[in-house]
Amino acid sequence: MFAKNAANAPCDFILFGALGDLACRKIIPALYQLESAGLLHERTRLIACSRETMAQGEFIDFVRLDLAQFLPIPIDETIWLRLSVKLAYCKLDVTQPADYNKILDFVQPEQVQVISYFAIPSYLYAQACEGLASAGLNLHSSRLVLEKPIGDNLASCQAINQQVGRYFAEDQIYRIDHYLGKETVLNLLVLRFANAIFSSNWDHRAIDRVEIIVAEELGVEGRWDYYDKSGHARDMLQNHLVQILSLVAMEPPLNLDAENIRHEKLKVLKSLRPINATNTNEYTVRGQYAANTINGRSIPGYLEEKGANQHSTTETFVAVKAYIDNWRWSGVPFYLLTGKKLSKKQSEVVIHFRPQAHQIFNTVDGSVAPNQLVIRLQPDEGVELRIMNKIPGLSQKMKLHESKLDLNFNRSFTNDRIADAYERLLLEIMQGSQSLFVSREEIELSWQWIDGIKSAWELENSPLHLYPSGTWGPEKVKLLFDGFAHLWEDKLEIS
């Protein structure tokens, strides 16, 4: 959508952490899909780096099994043949500087674009950058991809960014938040800025409140130790929800260039009302999932998961009432909710428009509900507009009914497969567009806001509310959301 280059050039794509969960579930399947779409140049090479000892043939077999497990479709043998000849395996320990010279057997940095993708923990970024530089793989034409989270607070994020910046310039660095690659998130820009009905009604005068929900049905899934050191505020709120919020709330950019989009998102982040010890209990709720029984099936709580510390107070649920203190959004609450072991997997943005200033239908059967714009991010991607209609009939009393104008992507675009976010982002990296990636200043501002919340929780000894697995969170959410929690309708079960 925002790519600068009309045609793809060949590249040497170096994947660090190639045998890890992220690479196996997302990155390698995304590369297959790009090959399937004819978007990988025939001379592109994919160099997988990991510290495991593995022969080239073993790695090819490993990738084949990985694709069979994680691709949503059967492997096409023609596509697999094209992809497999692009694959190479390099045994490399990120912490060993001498190992980086091994990569030179697989790449041609003076002839083709070199892209280094770090699917490794962020505390290793500095060592990996130093190693790449020692091997001459940080040329000005080189690109570097950093996965989230970058650090675990503002100080560590700044330190990592500074260390990475010693070897790579800011315009070479692509910081990924995969939510920014989702079709429905990209469609936010189109809805807002290509439709006058919305662009002229996108401020505090027309909008009453905004909900941003990123709900997960699963728990920690064997990652308890990692997750307990992070918590949901750092793992989800700091990146995904804050990024969606900035796209919903930003001013119209001059154009779709990365610099202009980032400039407007930064203005939103700078306008976020700080949450600290003076207002944390008024503006936030944190929770932790507890055991529950649903349809006769026992579901363990967070402290019953394998490897759990029985005294952990790490949050698995966060709800925030946020305010953006600028002219456009003056007084409009943004309700953010995210958590694990909730009622279902669901991500959506709901724009609640204000009711009509003067209501002439107050004597009819049925209430007159304000309009809603629902942007479904996953799993049922689409856009829904809720409006009032008259029910046909000859009754003297007019009967009204809330109707839904539903644009379901899967039903409306039956001939087009909805690409995974990583496919879009990998393509943008190869084509040199940073519009869908997060700048250093953005990520540091979001950490600053989250650090204020986390510090306030500790200073104020904010309560950790337990909620049964399979519900939509603690009872306290009703108060935080000013009684509007019922607007999730039959989907909402507050414990």
List residues with catalytic annotation: 240
Give ∠ CA 321-325-329 in degrees, rounded to 5. Answer: 80
386 φ, ψ (degrees, to nearest 5): -100, 125
Give the length of the chain: 495
Q: State how beta strands 333-339 and 207-215 pair.
A: parallel
Rounded to whole angstroms, what are the CA distances from 132 to 16, 106, 110, 129, 141? 11, 14, 14, 5, 13
Tokens in use for 413?
């675009």
Tokens in use for 140?
């000005």
Q: State how beta strands 317-323 and 372-378 pair.
A: unpaired
Decide: helix, strand or coil at residue 373. strand
Tokens in use for 19?
């045998």
- d(CA 425, CA 364) in angstroms, rounded, equals 50
Tokens in use for 313?
């107070």
- d(CA 112, CA 9) in angstroms, rounded, equals 8
User: Are 8 and 39 spatial neighbours (Cβ–Cβ below 8 Å)?
Assistant: yes
User: Are 145 and 429 spatial neighbours (Cβ–Cβ below 8 Å)?
Assistant: yes
Cross-sheet strand order for the sheet of 143-146: 87-91, 45-50, 11-16, 113-118, 143-146, 173-175
**Which residue reads 């800025």 in tokens?**
193
- d(CA 138, CA 127) in angstroms, rounded, equals 13
Instruction: Please tell me what DSSP assigns to residue 103.
Output: G
What's the half-sphere exposure (Cβ side, CA atoms, 13 Å) at 383?
Answer: 14
Q: What is the DSSP track for 293-361?
A: EETTEEE--GGGSTT--TT----SEEEEEEEB-SSTTTT-EEEEEEESSBSS-EEEEEEEEPPPSS-S-
Residue 400 pairs with which residues in a beta bridge?
390
Of the candidates 123, 124, 117, 167, the one whose C-alpha atom is nearest the C-alpha of residue 147 is 117
Of the candidates 425, 377, 385, the one whose C-alpha atom is nearest the C-alpha of residue 403 is 385
